[in-house]
Structure 1
């Protein structure tokens, strides 16, 4: 008889999903200039390398969790990991921007299938609250470590030419990791009970996915093509689709069906304000890596591996601050989040004043990026917990799914909006002064968005607000 698998080993197996999903965001950020040269791509295609992954990720994130409940978490984890591994290979083999971004979209879809199973498994494996918190902490450390490793490999691999162009290795590296995860999960992971009491909101997915596409794609490509009529038309269509989506979700909630996003959650003031703060924050967070990576490599002519080395210090600052901030939140509450935002703003101002030439003292780059990482780490891990503090525990799953959908959508939109500002001001044949000017303008836009986060945090209640929301509305 086969001995039972350790709970902690099972958790580590399913944690490969968040590790690969996160690493494939950060590993691309630093490698974007090399990817652009490799596929002879445009700036718009460069932004879509980030945005298409996150569109697929955000649109199916909630549905991915429900698929695990309905068909079994092991089956959906294996399916997601298999599709992720295959689509990663297609990314590495891509010869054009269209091929790469199509494969990236399927990468995002597969990430949305496999990553919710990790969180769900933790709930099942660790029913005791103290052990569950420990497991969630380890899960968060794995995700944070993936961001640091991704930034290092994103700088190191493009300068490596072993069996292919270096940038292709950032996708091929998922092949051995994915195969090992598939084998371990197939042999050692135990299937969970299935819950078929609720139907999937296929209609909600069918509305939200094209709505996000019609918003993000023209924001990115429209700027590059001079805003043709079709781009304006798609933006108008996105408005209509979002309105239909909200109406559809309200109707399903009223009928006690299972909507993709539960509209009744927005009656909770701290959740609603926290969601706004999240959107403003993530319009800055990921685009920062896009514009900084391009500015360092194409503007300041810093090598890919040196850029990756600098970003590692940002990741180290993030991990250290995230561990410390979780402890400080119990004592100081949202002041920790506000302090993190002000630290990020200060760090961006230091970017403007000191990171303007490759001749800058070598220690200045890692020092300022480390400070920026400290700010990020003080905000990101605790923003979700603070936003959900007033949500009843039994509805935390629906609220966190909504939160993560908004988060990934904001990242994708930020790649178009913030990244679009940067590429607009660089022009068609930029020199150092053009890159510097564009970088500074984009950083000021980022500072403005972070100030909006600060305002949201200022008006957010210190304690959960008592909101008379009928339980049956949330339960739907």
Structure 2
């Protein structure tokens, strides 16, 4: 059945996918201590709960986008949503860390299959120009709202009684939402013609997935096990797989086949600088939540609800600043992002000053987190456009996919590196002084990463300038 309804209602159906996938990142961030207690997990286990979702998403994002062309966007969207709620249910009923982390990986994979279909549907349903801009703005607003709602629910749900463990609700809440959306998608989303040309780069997907797992997993698990030989071997094997992956992609491109990753992008100086900016910024994004949640709840004794409300305040600051920054970018360009980075660094310094006393005035934390959110909101909404501004039009799609893969990989890497530094300094039976010391070191690392973001933003060309590498690459393409 395919009944015609308003395309704005179709946008609501499509937006459910980004709502669920984004909410599932932020809802977990606040509930980390409750999950760790519930599954009797180690510090490494809880890092993997975050990282494996992101790795599954990063490794299959490009493939998920192409799946819609080969099998039909509607089928892939519905199938991805079904897989997502099945994986969510498996997370909710997991009995140990292994079960939970396996389900989290498949949650990320299924998100990578459903999200690109929604973006493509917007391009099909809404005419270019003001109408499409409005639709993309609504879609982005849904993602922003999901981050705030996720942080609120991540604080509240663990304190409810469910199966004796309220943390399970943070995953199971996806199930009724998905079951409500799937029938609507089946009935109302239009069937778009398939594009049968080309083939899946299965070898590329396997090589990229193997590379990411072999790098991120030993960074997280190796530290806790005092770096056994296999963890070092995995890191070395991951480096080897990366070399093989790049060679494989070059061969496909030279042979006229469509690669998973277009290596021509890395001939462009500004693109390389932009990807360093992406790497450093997103290493901070979720590691910030990890170390702050652990400090607030396990170090200072905040409840998950109190922590959730604090991060809601941070999210409100993000949304408010993002609306303002998008208006300022045409006037001031990258200076807006640089100002946002300075705000983030300054408020992190205030974080370190305040979060060393169990008697801290909790009311003072709300404006501090709000200010940090305004810094994030000044940087993140325009980061994609700033990083990819010099990319030739024929490589724009490949660059956007590469940006998203870098983004998710960088978040997972930040959880592994910054989170690993935090937990290594914390020790097995930490007291408040150990928490304060570990928190300060991890936060100093994040401030250093933000300093690199500011430096590499400075290296990017001014507005309306294009580096000669971009023109040369365009000619070569």
Q: TM-score, normalised to structure 1's length? A: 0.97
**Residue 394 of structure 1: how far off its partner (Å):** 4.0
> Who is 2:54 aligned against?
54
**Residue 253 of structure 1: how far off its partner (Å):** 1.4
> Who is 2:336 aligned against?
336
> Who is 2:466 aligned against?
464
Q: Which has the higher mean CA deviation after the structures are superposed, 214-223 or 249-258?
A: 249-258
- Pairing of 1:9-48 with structure 2 (within 5 A): 9-48=9-48
Structure 2 distance, partners of 1:98, 1:395, is: 40
- With over 3 angstroms needed to count, the CA separation of the structure-2 counterparts of 1:390 and 1:472, relative to structure 1, is closer
> Who is 2:383 aligned against?
383
> Who is 1:239 aligned against?
239
Structure 1 distance, partners of 2:396, 2:127, is: 15
Indicate yes or no: 2:131 matched with 1:155.
no
Query: Any idea what the Cα deviations from partners look like across 1:356-382, whole Å, max 9, x if unmatched?
Result: 224222221111111110011111110
- The answer to whether the 8 A contact 2:2-2:190 is kept is no
**Residue 139 of structure 1: how far off its partner (Å):** 1.0
Structure 1 distance, partners of 2:138, 2:386, is: 19
SS at structure 2 position matched to 1:446: helix
Q: Which has the higher mean CA deviation after the structures are superposed, 188-197 or 44-53?
A: 188-197
> Who is 1:250 aligned against?
250
> Who is 2:288 aligned against?
288
CA RMSD of aligned residues (A): 1.3
Give the gaps of 5 or more residues in structure 1: none
**Residue 198 of structure 1: how far off its partner (Å):** 2.1
Indicate yes or no: 2:360 matched with 1:357.
no
Query: Any idea what the Cα deviations from partners look like across 1:141-168, whole Å, max 9, x if unmatched?
Result: 1101000000000000000114551100
**Residue 194 of structure 1: how far off its partner (Å):** 1.1
Q: TM-score, normalised to structure 2's length? A: 0.97
Q: Which has the higher mean CA deviation after the structures are superposed, 264-273 or 407-416?
A: 264-273
> Who is 1:369 aligned against?
369
**Residue 268 of structure 1: how far off its partner (Å):** 2.5
Structure 1 distance, partners of 2:27, 2:91, is: 13
**Residue 265 of structure 1: how far off its partner (Å):** 1.3
- Pairing of 1:243-282 with structure 2 (within 5 A): 243-282=243-282
> Who is 1:173 aligned against?
173
Structure 2 distance, partners of 1:414, 1:420, is: 9
> Who is 2:428 aligned against?
428
SS at structure 2 position matched to 1:363: helix
Structure 2 distance, partners of 1:406, 1:227, is: 26
- The answer to whether the 8 A contact 2:30-2:289 is kept is yes
Indicate yes or no: 2:62 matched with 1:95.
no
- The answer to whether the 8 A contact 2:3-2:187 is kept is no
**Residue 133 of structure 1: how far off its partner (Å):** 1.4
> Who is 1:129 aligned against?
129
Query: Any idea what the Cα deviations from partners look like across 1:409-468, whole Å, max 9, x if unmatched?
Result: 011111110100000000000001100110000000000111111111010111233424
Structure 1 distance, partners of 2:460, 2:158, is: 43
> Who is 1:417 aligned against?
417
**Residue 5 of structure 1: how far off its partner (Å):** 2.1
> Who is 1:188 aligned against?
188
Structure 2 distance, partners of 1:118, 1:452, is: 34
Indicate yes or no: 2:426 matched with 1:455.
no
- The answer to whether the 8 A contact 1:253-1:473 is kept is no
> Who is 2:7 aligned against?
7
Structure 1 distance, partners of 2:165, 2:195, is: 46
Give the gaps of 5 or more residues in structure 2: none
Query: Any idea what the Cα deviations from partners look like across 1:203-242, whole Å, max 9, x if unmatched?
Result: 1101000110000000000000000000000000000000
- With over 3 angstroms needed to count, the CA separation of the structure-2 counterparts of 1:472 and 1:257, relative to structure 1, is farther
SS at structure 2 position matched to 1:200: coil
The count of corresponding residues between Structure 1 and Structure 2 is: 474
> Who is 2:325 aligned against?
325
> Who is 1:117 aligned against?
117
- The answer to whether the 8 A contact 2:267-2:473 is kept is no
> Who is 2:214 aligned against?
214
Structure 1 distance, partners of 2:96, 2:435, is: 25
- Pairing of 1:194-205 with structure 2 (within 5 A): 194-205=194-205
- The answer to whether the 8 A contact 1:27-1:153 is kept is yes
